[in-house]
Amino acid sequence: MCALSALPKHIVITGPTAGIGRAAALSLAEQGSQLTLLCRNLDKGADVSEAIVNAGGLAPHLVQMDMASLDSVRRAATSVLELGLPIDVLLNNAGLINSHRRETSDGFEETLAVNHFAPFLLTGMLLPAILKAAPGARIVNVASGAHSFVKNMGFDDIQLEHSYKTFEAYGRSKLANILFTRTLSQRLAGKGVTVNCLHPGAVATDIGKQHGELIAKVIPILLKPFFRGPQKGAETSIYLCADERVAGQTGGYWYNCKLTKVKPWAEDDVEARRLWDYTQDTIGFEYPSF
């Protein structure tokens, strides 16, 4: 278990109802944090909230958010801002993997939309509250070693309209998480906000189960001997959210609570800036200048 020290006051978490998100939420609440849980399913959110309160933690704020709908993300961000609380940590944890191509209600390829567009928009809208917690505010993005499945963002068919492959789609979305982290950390340099991302390891979670995806049922069976549990998978998320030893670290990619090298294409600032501009234009949201 990675060592912890002082915890931040207010943490916003996406995907907190299962897997590593739930494990992170329970651990951070147990150690004194006030949580805001952004949940697609409020009944499951209420279950997590009850578990937190029963363990002696502060009752979380629950906000409904469907990351496959940018309107839902906008409403959720507005609700969080209306709480009037500075955000010490934003943990962008939620994600999915699909066995075949799906489109969101906005007409975007769903894996890229949920894993990249939604956290990009959410983070941008919540930045005013995050900056209120500076210095010392943190943004933590759950990426993945799956960025090694691809070698670029494939802008010629980034929505995978012509050819869809499950691990290519997922790999691109996780590469996007790393490139987003890289650019945002540069933009927020000197503002008292750190931005880091992480690989949780191969974790048996509910990813993909919202659609009853066959891949979500088959892969855990095949790879069960190699999977770590959600608590183990959540360790690096908790570490980056809470430990004082990483207070000044930004722009990094972490695994097992240690800085880890990414593939060369995940360090490509030209690709990162192109993704940033493409995302802003596609979702119709422009980050404020600092």
**Residue 277 phi, psi (nearest 5):** -65, -40
- Identify the burial level of 257 via C-beta atoms within 10 angstroms of its C-beta, where 0-12 means exposed, 13-18 middle and 19 or more buried: buried
Residue whose C-alpha is closest to residue 203's, from 15, 73, 40, 8 = 15
Beta bridge partners of 34: 10
Which one of 170, 239, 253, 287 is the catalytic residue?
170
Tokens 């005013």 appear where?
A: 128
Note if 239 is an active site residue.
no
Q: What is the rounded distance in angstroms from the CA atom of residue 8 to the CA atom of residue 12?
A: 11
Write a three-state SS string for 99-110: CCCCECCCCCEH
Active-site positions read 170
